[in-house]
Amino acid sequence: MSYTKRLDLSVVLINYKTPHLLYDCINSIYKETTKIDFEIIVVDNNKDDGCENTLINNFPKVRYIDMGYNSGFARANNRGIKESKGEYILLLNDDTIILNRAIEKSLAFFKQEEDKKNNIGLLTCKFLNPDGSLQISANDSYLGIMDYIKPNPIYIYFTRKNNYQCNKWEQLVKNHEHVHEAKWLTGAFLLFNSKLAQDNIVFLDEDFLIYTEDMEISLRLKKLGFKTIYFPGAEIIHINSASYSAQRKSGQLIISKWLYILKTKGYIIYFLVILINYFNVFCDNVLFLKNKIFGKISELDTESLKGRRFLIRLLNKYSMKIFFSYRRKPSGSKHFLKYIP
């Protein structure tokens, strides 16, 4: 990372098979960001999709970095952070559209919080779906063992009259109406001071290919005394367009969550989570057999059966691999946890 003359901001974007989204995102950045000095760094995880030519022909000022392979979300962002020249750094998904000077507003608010000595670490803004509806970007709880107990049919049966989940969702939506400190921030828009990078604090854990690394870095900063702040005064559209197939995304999300549990909750909770997954599959299979005996098999039951078989394959293949191959602390290893169907 260069420490000579500082720009106000470095915006780091990752491309993987989505150059059309990248084009629209960069256009929106330049259109809505005119009052600060900034640079855009594009880190390319898939050189063969024409991303470099798109940038040369349309955005010659954008800095381009070719990773040479699919290095994953965390590793590519870390490379962008290391190459950045800005006093502040924004990790931004390429499937976003900047609205109404959102970057400038977010940066101004971040600086105000620093002036107040509020020890702000990360900041995100309001996310909107393409239809204008709210998309959750500030989360009020970390992934834990209860997230694996709740899908069990026995738990569902005894809590079916409880409106807790509905009330929790309504409260989460209400929270997005005002500034607040969240548990963890969605990684599609993460703003921070580059000093955290200079001190090797804010780098993402490279054991994760993609998914849950935003939860892990939020928790890690919390433990160091930094705040993760949600700011609704700036808005972006997050298309949430996956560059993976639905099955690959599902598989990667599942094993990334397991890895997060191991790294943050420890070995005992990790093994409990794996056992609960097996037990949930067993209970669902018993329920499926009951419905089959009574001739009540629906299309939903059939799809659920496919999902359970898929989960069992992941459990058998990855649960022990995660335990023996990945450390609980952030890794600097040359490999990462990758699901390939």
Asked if the structure places residue 336 within a domain, the reply is yes
Chain segment 163-175, per-residue pLDDT in tens: 666 778 888 999 9
**Mean pLDDT across the chain, nearest whole number?**
91
- Our CA angle for 107, 67, 218, nearest 5°, is 40
Both 317 and 197 in one domain: the answer is no
φ and ψ of 139, to 5 deg: -105, 145
Q: Is the pLDDT of residue 157 over 90?
A: no
pLDDT for 2: 44
pLDDT at 340: 63
Sign for the pseudo-dihedral over CA of 177, 182, 186, 187:
positive
* Domain end call among 221, 238, 255: 238
Q: Could you tell me the CATH number of the domain that includes residue 191?
A: 3.90.550.10
Q: Does residue 61 share a domain with residue 199?
A: yes
Query: 121 lies in a domain?
Result: yes
Q: Mark whether 185 and 323 lie in a shared domain.
A: no
Is residue 149 a part of any domain in this protein?
yes
**pLDDT higher than threshold 90 for residue 33:** yes
For residue 91, give both structure tokens.
């990790």
Task: Kindly state whether residue 1 falls inside one of the protein's structural domains.
Answer: no
CA dihedral 265, 270, 272, 273 (to 10 degrees): 100
265 belongs to a structural domain: yes
The yes-or-no verdict on residue 3 having pLDDT over 60 is no
Asked which of 211, 238, 265 is the last residue of a domain, the reply is: 238
Residue 194, CA atoms < 13 Å, CB-side half-sphere: 20
Which tens digits make up the pLDDT trace of 220-248? 999 999 999 999 999 999 998 666 677 88
- Say whether both 128 and 39 belong to one domain: yes
Considering the domain boundaries, does residue 17 fall inside one? yes
Task: Using alpha carbons, list the distances in angstroms from residue 118 to 88, 113, 121, 220.
Answer: 16, 6, 9, 17
Nearest by Cα to 85 from 189, 171, 8, 180: 8
Same domain, residue pair 258 and 189: no
Position 4 confidence tier, pLDDT thresholds 50, 70, 90? low
Give residue 43's pLDDT.
96
Range of the domain at 128: 7-137+176-238
Task: Tell whether 36 and 183 lie within a shared domain.
Answer: yes
pLDDT of 220: 95
Q: How far apart are CA 51 and CA 191, in angstroms?
A: 24
Q: Say if 171 falls within a structural domain.
A: no
179-198 pLDDT, tens per residue? 999 999 999 999 999 999 98
Same domain, 120 and 88: yes
pLDDT in tens, 57-73: 999 999 999 998 889 99
Total domains, the chain: 2
The domain boundary residue, chosen from 192, 208, 238: 238
> Do 149 and 249 reside in the same domain of the chain?
yes
In the prediction, which pLDDT does 227 show? Answer: 97
pLDDT at 326: 86
Query: Torsion-angle region of residue 227: left (phi > 0), alpha (psi -120 to 50) or beta?
Result: beta
**Is 194 inside a domain boundary?**
yes
Specify whether 275 is located in the same domain as 308: yes
Residue type, 165: Q
Using a cut of 0.75, tell me whether the model's pTM lies above it: yes
The answer to whether residues 46 and 109 belong to one domain is: yes
Task: Note whether 156 and 275 are same-domain residues.
Answer: yes
Helix axes 246-265, 213-223, angle to 10 degrees: 20
Q: Please write the tens of the pLDDT for every residue from 311-322.
A: 999 999 999 999
Q: Are residues 40 and 148 in the same domain?
A: no
Burial of 173 (0-12, 13-18, 19+ CB in 10 A): exposed
Where residue 22 falls among pLDDT bands split at 50, 70, 90?
very high
